[in-house]
Structure 1
Amino acid sequence: MRPEGTHGVGDSDPGEAETALRRADALGVSGPELADCLDAVGSAYRRRFWDAGDPQDLRQAVDHYRRAAHADSARQTVWTNEVAVTLTDLYDLTGDPGDLDAAREAAEEATGAAEEGSPQWARCAATLVLCLWNRYDATGALGDLDAAIALGTRALGALPRTDAAWARVCSNVGMLHMDRYERLREEHDLRTTVRLAREAVNAAHEDDPELGGWWNNLGNALLTRHGTQFPDRVLPRQDARVDLADVDAAIGAYETALRISRWKVAGRATFLVNLGNARVDRAEALGLAGRREEAVATLREAVVPLAEAVSLTSPTAPYRASRLNMLGEARRALAEETGAADEVAAARGAFREACRKGLDVAPEMAVGAADNWIRWAGRRAAWEEIGEADGYLLRAARALHEAQAVRRHREAWLVASHGLAHEGVHALVRLGQAEAAAVRLERGRAVLLSEELGLVPALLDRLPGPVQARYTAAVRRVQEVLRDAG
């Protein structure tokens, strides 16, 4: 959760604020005074968006903040940053790359105009961090994640703890470290995640409208640490004791976030899906401890907030794929425990939609959903489902691989997706499609071969045109030799 406060957010109705603005226009008000009126209108629209979730309110807010930037040159950086913040909210709802590009451009403009190292620079840089983070989510490019962590850390260092933005930046940098931990599994990232999430909650004022978000992020950190007990979802040793302290604390943090939050739609969906996910993890831990009845009851409790979260999420939102995947996991676990045919169908449908949506806006989410679907279908010998899920996996894995500019980042995605290819091949063989299985193996080899030859667009695009042409021609000749050699 990465909420960002607006300058001068108020509780006024947009209609009342627009009326006041028209009076100001009629009186010829200009400069800073007009900018304040425009800010009031933009803030009112943003507040209504968080209550109702209508993207048109965000577009109205963007228009008013842009007008404020033109009206008040002395505070142009402030208003340009508000434009960027609001566009990131809009992107979270629409998934439109144009909204993200516009947000990044505005954030870069604001950051470049502010005095580096000043609190205002830090606030603008924190918005640019959000843009890099969103781009990482959209492409899986770990270079963007590294850049977001580095810039976010600098921004945090430039803010005094007493600044209202400190808790926000602290919590967001913690979540960035968590994303990197989940991909690269470096322990210092997890330790940093938990520390920063706690510091953000402790530093925030009890009246901070975003405090629910920081509780949510603390829940994320604790839930991630809880999962380290269960490598590959099994107990590390036969006599190990299941420790529920972190998962119970995470559930409590999410429930606190829901209780104190002022957000009725946009933020609420995030808190709901995380609460549901934590309950799923608790049910799995209970199952590993042999407490089956408690596990089934907890799974039923998990489905409720997950289903509500999906219902509150726009069909075009980048996070929809992730939320569908989580709902599919909850229903999958419930289906395995109860054997209910309707739960099987519901889980399958959630995984399928998660894969489809992930290919459109978030290929990492498609890989995760395909992974869960393939493993589950394998346990049921549902070979046709595996074949379908494997098709989504291959397309998403290729998109993620091609988005990386650093070799270790490409290798991380190859490791994440390569092993699942064997499940798809096995399913095709069981269906009697030996030729298709061979083709699937070759398609997997093609991705690996491109890694060895360096055929990664993110890198090739950096070469001068003539050098790129010569290199591409040389690689083509190597490929032809390899093909002719069989």
Structure 2
Amino acid sequence: MLVRRFERTGSINDLNRAVDVADMAVDATPQDHPDRAACLNTLGNCLGSRFERTGSMDDLNRAVDVTGKAVNIIPQNHPDRAICLNNLGAWLGKRFKRTGSIDDLNRAVDIAGEAINATPQDYPNRASLLNNFGNWLNSRFKRTDSMDDLNRAIDVTGEAVNATPQDHPDRAAYLNSLGVWLSNRFERTGSMDDLNYAIDVTNEAVNAIPQDHPGRAVYLNSFGTCLGKRFERTGSMDDLNRAVDVAGEAVNATPQDHPDQASYLNNLGGWFGKRFQQTGSMDDLNRAVDITGEAVNVISQDHPDRARWLSNLGNWLSNRFERTGSMDDLNRAVDIAGEAVNATPQDHPGRAGCLHNLGRILNSRFERTGSINDLNCAVDVTTEAVDVTP
């Protein structure tokens, strides 16, 4: 009940108390007791929920460990085995998002698939299991570029939506997931049907969730991202303006210490930057620099998205230099673009883009100062960008 109240109100005190109570329940349950798996699973859920609120890796690692123990001791034919498997897959997937570990992601996909296979078609929570399976398949697509994974993610999440009544409280979450996966496929294939459908279902998700719901920012962010992508494809300023407004609403709905705040700030900064490119508004460009800088400042040093956001900040600073001639902006852009390259693994698909950005900004500084060192570095990193591009 404490967790349910936290989910509705966002009260961290309720969540902390829920973790303590679940811990005591595990300690009070003998190793061979038939309810021990359920107690471990509950503790894992409480710890995982607290990670989602606070970003604590200790909580997430412990959620993986205790839920793994629950899976190991629950009988193969137990009706709750699928739930335990689903939860373990969820925490492994969350850990992948935080650390970038492909081993965790592959385990999340395998375990989520096992959870679905362990349930009949009429299982009451089957839609939730399908949605989670789609989530990790999509995450693996983003890491490996496997279209098989993305297509399968769309299929299983669509199945989750179709299996969920219109008035079900989880329907908004499944619609949001489906919209994000469709948006990802649009980026890969250019299908406007996918993008338009993505906008429709993410908008439906936003409309289906109460104004004061703690998770509303997630759906607003997704909706804004889809609108922004349609602007990029069609040039519609209506879509871009709406993307800015919706992304701003997502930021405003997110607590300052929320682990997703950096992501929402980065997206909002991106849409301000895009609008500057269309209108020339220095107010929009300044906001892009400030907001993206704020995102970089609040994200952890080891976050897998840090390099991409650093690269974005470097771009906006470079754009401002081109408008104002500020060498402070240009020098900062070079430093930040270099930091983005250093933060990107050698085999990461985004490395070529970071290298290209650094080369372009170094060349801008060479043109301004005549520094042959900058020109040589620009040639080297641009050549490397070409070499690592498939």
- Please give the range of the TM-score, normalised by the shorter of the 2 chains: 0.7 to 0.9
1:284 and 2:322 are equivalent in the alignment: yes
Q: Give the secondary-structure state (helix, strand or coil) at the position aligned to 1:162.
A: coil
Distance in 1 separating the partners of 2:73 and 2:257: 37
TM-score (norm 1): 0.61
1:333 and 2:364 are equivalent in the alignment: yes
1:297 and 2:333 are equivalent in the alignment: no
Superposed displacement of residue 43, structure 1: 3.7
Distance in 1 separating the partners of 2:153 and 2:135: 7
**Root-mean-square deviation over aligned CA pairs:** 3.0
Cα deviation code 1:245-284 (max 9, x no counterpart) = 3222222212322333357322322322222122112111
Which of 177, 192, 195 aligns to 2:227? It is 177
Distance in 2 separating the partners of 1:317 and 1:105: 27
The alpha-carbon distance between structure 1 residues 255 and 138, as it changes in their structure 2 partners (threshold 3 A), is: same
Superposed displacement of residue 219, structure 1: 0.8
What is aligned with 2:183?
A: 133
Superposed displacement of residue 40, structure 1: 4.4
What is aligned with 2:258?
A: 208
Distance in 1 separating the partners of 2:61 and 2:216: 29
Which of 68, 72, 78 aligns to 2:115? It is 68
Superposed displacement of residue 84, structure 1: 1.6
Distance in 2 separating the partners of 1:47 and 1:325: 30
Distance in 1 separating the partners of 2:110 and 2:301: 23
What is aligned with 2:374?
A: 343
Gaps of 5+ in 2: 1-44, 52-56
Q: Which has the higher contact order (CA 8 A, sep 6+)?
A: 1
Distance in 2 separating the partners of 1:66 and 1:190: 38
Which of 240, 248, 253 aligns to 1:190? It is 240
1:225 and 2:275 are equivalent in the alignment: yes
Is the CA contact (8 Å cut-off) linking 2:172 and 2:205 kept in structure 1? yes
What is aligned with 1:50?
A: 97
Superposed displacement of residue 354, structure 1: 5.0
Distance in 1 separating the partners of 2:82 and 2:139: 21
1:9-48 alignment to 2 at 5 Å? 9=49, 10=51, 11=57, 12=59, 14=61, 17-18=64-65, 21-22=68-69, 24-28=71-75, 33-48=80-95
1:259 and 2:297 are equivalent in the alignment: yes
Q: Give the secondary-structure state (helix, strand or coil) at the position aligned to 1:271.
A: helix
1:67-466 alignment to 2 at 5 Å? 67-71=114-118, 73-116=123-166, 118-230=168-280, 244-261=282-299, 264-287=302-325, 294=326, 296-314=327-345, 317-351=348-382, 360=390
AA in 2 matched with 1:178:
G
Cα deviation code 1:257-315 (max 9, x no counterpart) = 2333357322322322222122112111212xxxxxx2x33122112332333343455
AA in 1 matched with 2:171:
W
What is aligned with 2:22?
A: none
AA in 2 matched with 1:52:
T
| Structure having the higher Rg | 1
Q: Percent identity?
A: 28
Distance in 2 separating the partners of 1:147 and 1:357: 34
TM-score (norm 2): 0.74
Cα deviation code 1:170-194 (max 9, x no counterpart) = 1222122222223322221121111
